[in-house]
Amino acid sequence: MLTGEIQIRVRYAETDRMGLLHHANYLVYFEQARTELLRARQESYKELEDQGFFLVVAKAEVKYKSPAHYDDVLTIRTTVTRTSPVRLEHKYEVFRGAVLIAEGLTTLACVGRDGKLREMPAWLAEAK
């Protein structure tokens, strides 16, 4: 399976009044991790979009296990778990050191400029 890891330091602006990473920012981190996973394959979302392929989030799920705090360094492991001609599924694991603090899943659908489903390039549909 296609897997990659990135590290992100929690910035002050991403926290709530308690100094904890705001829950919505996990989805932002997931997007950054997906982008870097694609870049590691020598591809980019920009290139895909320039060719008329747009990957939109059709489903997102996050399970929070333990909070992240301001200035924590987090590792986000991203794995492509399933592909089809028009969909990609990713699994995310967020670690602070060796501690798993969150897990997530997303399903992306490929659409064209008109917003209608379209098949992805073959190399992406076979990314597992």
| 88 in Cβ contact with 120 (< 8 Å) | yes
Please give the pLDDT value at position 128.
65
In the CATH hierarchy, which fold is given to the domain comprising 3-125? Thiol Ester Dehydrase; Chain A (3.10.129)
Give the start-to-end residue ranges of the domains of the chain: 3-125
Residues lower than pLDDT 50 in the chain: none
Distance CA 96, CA 15 (A): 16
Please give the pLDDT value at position 44.
87
Please give the pLDDT value at position 122.
85
| Strand partners for 6 | 76
* DSSP letters spanning 51-113: TT-EEEEEEEEEEE-S--BTT-EEEEEEEEEEE-SSEEEEEEEEEETTEEEEEEEEEEEEE-T
- Determine if the pTM surpasses 0.95: no
